[in-house]
Chains A and B, each alone.
Chain A
Amino acid sequence: MVLTPPSALVELRNLTFGYGDRVILDDISLSVPRGKVTALMGASGGGKTTILRLIGGQNRAQSGQLLFDGGDVTVMGQTELYAARRRMGMLFQFGALFADLSVFENVAFPLREHTDLPDALIRDIVLMKLNAVGLRGARDLMPSDVSGGMARRIALARAIALDPELVMYDEPFSGLDPISLGTAARLIRELNDAMGLTSIFVSHELEQTFSIADHVIILANGKIAAQGTPEEVRTSTDPLVYQYVHALSDGPVRFHYPGPTVQEDFSMGLQSNHKSSGVAQ
Chain B
Amino acid sequence: MSWYKPSDVGFAARSKLADLGHGARLFFKLIAMMVPTFRRFGLVRDQIHFLGNYSLAIIAVSGLFVGFVFGLQGYYTLQRYGSSSALGLLVTLTLVRELGPVVTALLFAGRAGTSLTAEIGLMKAGEQISVMEMMAVDPVQRILAPRFWAGVITMPLLAAVFSATGIIGGWVVGVLMIGVDGGSFWSQIQAGVDVWKDVGNGILKSIVFGFTVTFIALLQGFDAQPTPEGVASATTRTVVVASLSVLGLDFILTAMMFTI
Interface residues of A (CB under 8 A from B): 56, 58, 81-83, 85-86, 88, 90, 92-94, 96-99, 109-110, 113-114, 155
Contact = CB atoms under 8 A, between A and B. Distances in A.
B128 A96 contact: yes
B133 interface: yes
A26 to B, nearest CB: 25
Top 4 closest pairs, chain A to chain B, by CB? A96-B127, A82-B136, A85-B136, A96-B131
A99 B126 contact: yes
A92 B136 contact: no
A86 B135 CA distance: 6
A88 B127 CA distance: 17
Contact of B137 (A83, A113, A155): A113
Contacts of A88: 134
A114 B135 CA distance: 9
Contacts of A82: 136, 138
Interface string B11-55: 000000000000000000000000000000000000000000000
A155 B126 CA distance: 13
A113 B142 contact: yes
B94 interface: no
B130 A92 contact: yes
Interface of B: 122-123, 126-128, 130-131, 133-138, 142
B234 to A, nearest CB: 18
B128 A110 contact: no
B130 A58 contact: yes
B18 to A, nearest CB: 16
Contacts of B128: 96-99
A110 B127 contact: no
A56 B131 CA distance: 10
A58 B131 contact: no
Nearest to A110: B135
Nearest to A52: B134
B136 A96 contact: no
Contact of A58 (B122, B123, B133, B142): B133
Nearest to A88: B134
A114 B126 contact: no
